[in-house]
């Protein structure tokens, strides 16, 4: 499954894992390490092309698994740059936990917001959940900009050297379409 979309003037694609992306993925992760290390425990100071290839191959296996995380990579139309990644971890009854990261060389241009909207809109009967650190204002703004609503705050659930004690914010997005009420129903009439 692949999704094409436009963000600003840029034609972009959401692609499932493809080993051909290994060079662009390694570059994106290396360029973004400092920003990722603040909040993502898997971030490493340097990702080699071999490590990126191994990650893409593991992601391919997980993508085709019934219970594995499905990762879509946000790429330029020519496939030369990875702008970020969105992961969906399946849970029971058409529910998914969402995770994402952006290539900092391309952040602030609305690409991640457009990609999230496009991808999540492709699952009209699903509910999505995500969590963010109270110190990660950018992730909070992104989640809220695509319609996620804050449903719970877990006080003092995180601790890091850089940000100290932080809350974990839990969000939900329901994409299920609900029929509009008729004017009579809205007025409280049967």
Per-residue model confidence as pLDDT tens digits over 14-51 = 999 999 999 999 999 999 999 998 999 889 999 999 99
Read off the pLDDT of residues 88-127 as tens digits, 9 standing for 90 and up: 999 988 999 999 999 999 999 999 999 999 999 999 999 9
Q: Locate the domains of the chain by residue range.
A: 3-176
Tokens 């600003």 belong to 8
Per-residue pLDDT band at 187 (split at 50, 70, 90): low
Where are the strands (E) in the chain, listed by range? 3-7, 10-15, 70-76, 82-91, 95-102, 127-133, 149-160, 164-174
Which CATH number among 3.40.630.30, 3.40.309.10, 3.40.50.800, 3.40.1190.20 corresponds to the domain 3-176?
A: 3.40.630.30
Query: Per mean pLDDT, which range of 128-137, 138-147, 168-177 is the poorest?
Result: 168-177
């Amino acid at each position: 499954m692949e999704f094409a979309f436009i963000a600003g003037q840029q034609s972009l694609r959401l692609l499932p894992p493809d080993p051909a992306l290994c060079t662009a993925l390694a570059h994106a992760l290396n360029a973004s390490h400092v920003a990722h290390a603040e909040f993502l425990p898997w971030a490493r100071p340097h990702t080699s092309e071999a490590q990126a290839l191994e990650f893409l191959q593991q992601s391919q296996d997980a993508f085709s698994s019934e219970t594995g995380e499905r990762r879509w990579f946000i790429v330029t139309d020519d496939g030369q740059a990875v702008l970020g990644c969105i992961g969906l971890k399946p849970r029971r009854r058409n529910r998914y936990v969402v995770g994402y990261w952006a290539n900092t060389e391309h952040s602030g241009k609305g690409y991640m917001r457009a990609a999230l909207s496009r991808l999540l809109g492709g699952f009209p009967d699903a509910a999505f959940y995500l969590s963010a650190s109270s110190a990660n204002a950018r992730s909070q703004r992104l989640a809220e900009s695509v319609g996620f609503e804050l449903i719970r705050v877990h006080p003092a659930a995180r601790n890091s050297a850089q940000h100290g004690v932080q809350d974990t914010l839990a969000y939900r997005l329901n994409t299920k379409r609900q029929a509009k009420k008729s004017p009579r129903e809205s007025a409280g009439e049967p």
